[in-house]
A and B are shown apart, each in its own frame.
Chain A
Amino acid sequence: GQSLEQPSEVTAVEGAIVQINCTYQTSGFYGLSWYQQHDGGAPTFLSYNALDGLEETGRFSSFLSRSDSYGYLLLQELQMKDSASYFCAVRGFKTIFGAGTRLFVKA
């Protein structure tokens, strides 16, 4: 079967750096994606890692280690608007989502 684990909740202050980890078990792995979802909104795509290493997109970076079945999302220079839920998702023929990490950014 497929399963993903990520922390349920993280709290950080404005300007800080936060890392959200994700471990997964799956058959048929193409890559690991990250999505952001604000309350009442639709999930929006942040990043995708198909190969080992770090992908950087502005303040957000994502890392993947296929041998460890592990990845993380790194958010730098946190802003209040970053308060949202963050989902890791395994991409195979279909995309399966983790339970989500709720990020609270405090002033």
Chain B
Amino acid sequence: SAVISQKPSRDICQRGTSLTIQCQVDSQVTMMFWYRQQPGQSLTLIATANQGSEATYESGFVIDKFPISRPNLTFSTLTVSNMSPEDSSIYLCSARDREGNSPLHFGNGTRLTVT
């Protein structure tokens, strides 16, 4: 199964700044996704990171706020732009290594605090 490395693991940022989160998978994967999770809450899908094309965003999330890159089959970045305290959350990268019944694998997440 795919092993996902995510960094940074945590950060404290000032409002108005931007943070880029990196996600590296140890093998080529078909699908990569970015989720957000408030402590004690469920996982909310932000977007699907598409290799070589623009990400597919879920309702309530836009590219200007959360630009995503996926230059190849093993790497993706999520940027949280112009941050405000409401962006404080855990951001999780996930991947599925093949089609069919393969499960989602998750990175350990990035705990972001915006002051």
Give A residues with C-beta under 8 Å from B: 31, 33, 35, 41-45, 48, 50, 87, 89, 94-100, 102
Interface size on B, residues (CB 8 A): 18
B12 in contact (CB, < 8 A):
no
B41 touches which of A41, A43, A100 (Cβ 8 Å): A100
Q: At the interface, is chain B mostly helix, strand, loop or mixed?
A: strand
Q: At the interface, is chain A mostly helix, strand, loop or mixed?
A: strand
A-B contact pairs, 19 of them (CB 8 A): A33-B103, A33-B104, A42-B107, A42-B108, A42-B109, A43-B43, A43-B92, A43-B106, A44-B106, A48-B101, A48-B103, A50-B101, A87-B43, A94-B33, A94-B45, A97-B42, A97-B44, A99-B42, A102-B40
Q: In angstroms, how far is the closest chain A Cβ from the Cβ of B54? A: 16
A99 to B44: give the CA distance in the assembly, Å. Answer: 10
Rank and list the top 3 A-B pairs by shortest CB-CB distance, nearest first. A45-B103, A42-B106, A97-B43
Is the CB–CB distance between A45 and B41 below 8 Å?
no
Closest to A93 in B: B48
B15 in contact (CB, < 8 A):
no
Residues from chain A with a CB closer than 8 A to the CB of B43 are 43, 87, 97
B105 in contact (CB, < 8 A):
yes
